[in-house]
Amino acid sequence: MQDLFQENKILMQNTLGQLIKSLRKKTNKSITLLTAEVGMTKSLLADTEKGIKDPQLSTLWRIAQGLNIPLSDIIKLLENELGEEFSLIE
């Protein structure tokens, strides 16, 4: 059971990271520019985009603000990417 949770958590982190990177590139913002705008380190954003970091809600909020989209849009896009069957609770 714990292995499935860990696998799903990694899948969620990787998917979220790819989504954030894609949204950032659509806005034509570099990591340097976005992190300067939202007051976070480049390494935190880079690690989030790589799926290494599991960002806190406040971090996601700041990223969404820097991308000029509601946080709820990021969550909806993540849910769509993961599909209805995805769950961290089994």
The domains of the chain are located at 2-81
Question: Taking 90 as the threshold, does the pLDDT of residue 90 lie above it?
Answer: no
Q: What is the pLDDT of residue 14?
A: 97
CB distance 15 to 81 below 8 Å? yes
Question: Per residue in 26-62, pLDDT tens?
Answer: 999 999 999 999 999 999 999 999 999 999 999 999 9
How many Å apart are CA 37 and CA 78, to the nearest integer?
Answer: 23
How many Å apart are CA 43 and CA 32, to the nearest integer?
Answer: 10
Q: What angle do CA 52, 57, 59 make, to 5 degrees?
A: 65
CB distance 14 to 7 below 8 Å? no
* R_g over Cα of the chain: 13
Q: Which two tokens stand for residue 10?
A: 């990694």
Give the right CATH number for 2-81 from 3.40.50.360, 1.10.260.40, 1.10.10.10, 3.20.20.70: 1.10.260.40
